Structure 1
């Protein structure tokens, strides 16, 4: 019997931790599988996905910049992927790609279960309105936050996101330059890709409180700039996205295999090897 094939698709993916994570999940659950990283820059997501399926691929994680296109390529979307407008998890069933989104559930699990945060009634600032922000915003609202302010370089894209969320009472949009007029926040979520270039998005005069929680959806080097900014402002709790990565991977693993692995030993092992955050 052939070994099931899975992959992470996007660009860049050469440094992705997903193959290590899913190898550990497979070992833990006793499932034999192969999991590889496939870069989509050369031929695009659609062609890469078609080649992968032809070679026996059964499921894929999708990362930047292809999550919106992945939702468009899926023939059937889960309710949470449809609501987000992006998909980070694909599974081939009866020759048809099904799309799901586990980013939001992964973030909430990390913040609530691993970090011990009570998200209920938190006032949240989301930096960015792209695919990463789209993926997690619905889950934050479902977790009971009191308000979500989406700040983006261009106001129109921020409004596009809150329009999609359909919660006019709890969502507001602004530009990055307008953040200071929005008051104080309990949680700041850095959802832009700026950290991949070693820079921060422009945050004029944004002053978090010491008890404001800061989380970057990126992990590793891409999160260093925001983490440093948070610590420079006296923030006591600042996290990168490694925990979210492991949790969303476990949710995807469950979509594919019907069982959810124990994430804590895998997270602990990766944290030791990648550094603190």
Structure 2
């Protein structure tokens, strides 16, 4: 069997759990000569790195800060990656490299499996970084067309605003210090937090008024938001759920086979001391 390579690229990547997921997938699929590694790579380094890969490479997972650079280096782009304006997946194609964004799957899969969330109309989004744009596209795909975006720096929300426009989402921009978090959460169908625990800690009990929440932060655990949601008896999806569910689509891009979901889940749970159940859903 021919040796094949894949890797996660970004900076820093020493902490990445992606090798756990994808090497488990390769093993479960009987791809014993395939390997998945970590490669430290800056945003400016994406283009030369990709250009230097040979035919033994089946794909790359791309994390920050290289997701927009990954989109720019691609010869073809999936519709959802175009909507997000960034790519977390690159795979070779007949004409170069194809870009996709399976973070959209990650958000949807996490919300569906952990919260039972399949559709809604109103959302709250905390933070305007790269994960936020993927969340906007994911929420739009299940009918959430009215989103309140709460940010600490309004000047940094332009990419999220552009993404919302592309995705057909009506975005209401709210400065952090002017937000009525309890009211926003209580009137929402879903809340997604992409901000650090230090930002949510003072308002965690207010955010827990949302019937369904995704906290993309998972270390250290539990986060203040996770604790408040559990105490309130609401549904919670986590960043680990998102990581798992985005990896399924990447695995299928890399291997051409259905993702071995149970094996990938088991490997991720073992690597994180079984701290979370990581349901697969239907």
TM-score (norm 1): 0.84
Q: Alignment partner for residue 261 of structure 2, among 245, 260, 263?
A: 263
Q: SS of the counterpart of 1:149?
A: strand
Q: Distance in 1 between matches of 2:11 and 2:233?
A: 32
Q: Distance in 2 between matches of 1:12 and 1:108?
A: 26
Give the corresponding residue for 1:92: 92
Give the corresponding residue for 1:120: 119
8 Å CA contact 1:126–1:189 kept in 2: the answer is: yes
Give the corresponding residue for 1:40: 41
Q: Distance in 2 between matches of 1:137 and 1:71?
A: 18
8 Å CA contact 2:22–2:264 kept in 1: the answer is: no
Give the corresponding residue for 1:78: 78
Structure 2: gaps (5+ residues)? 277-282
Give the corresponding residue for 1:187: 190
Of 220-229 and 26-35, the range deviating more from structure 2: 220-229
Give the corresponding residue for 1:240: 238
Give the corresponding residue for 1:131: 130
8 Å CA contact 2:204–2:228 kept in 1: the answer is: no
Greater RCO (Cα-Cα under 8 Å, separation 6 or more): 2
CA deviation after TM superposition for structure 1 residue 59, in Å: 0.6
1:126-185 CA distances to partner (integer Å, 9 max, x unpaired)?
A: 111111111221121111225222222222433542333225664322222233176333
**RMSD in angstroms over aligned alpha carbons?**
2.9
1:255-276 CA distances to partner (integer Å, 9 max, x unpaired)?
A: 2222221323422442244142
8 Å CA contact 2:68–2:85 kept in 1: the answer is: yes
Q: Distance in 2 between matches of 1:68 and 1:206?
A: 34
Structure 1: gaps (5+ residues)? none
Q: Distance in 1 between matches of 2:78 and 2:180?
A: 36
1:177-214 CA distances to partner (integer Å, 9 max, x unpaired)?
A: 2331763333221223x35xxx3358668713456322
8 Å CA contact 2:76–2:99 kept in 1: the answer is: yes
Give the corresponding residue for 1:64: 64
Give the corresponding residue for 2:29: 29
CA deviation after TM superposition for structure 1 residue 68, in Å: 1.5
Q: SS of the counterpart of 1:65?
A: coil
8 Å CA contact 1:84–1:135 kept in 2: the answer is: yes
8 Å CA contact 1:177–1:204 kept in 2: the answer is: no
Q: SS of the counterpart of 1:115?
A: helix
Q: Distance in 1 between matches of 2:134 and 2:127?
A: 12
Q: Distance in 1 between matches of 2:205 and 2:172?
A: 17
Q: Distance in 1 between matches of 2:169 and 2:82?
A: 21
Of 177-186 and 83-92, the range deviating more from structure 2: 177-186
8 Å CA contact 2:70–2:88 kept in 1: the answer is: yes
**Structure 1 pair 213–169 and aligned structure 2 pair: CA distance change class (3 A):** closer
Give the corresponding residue for 2:279: none
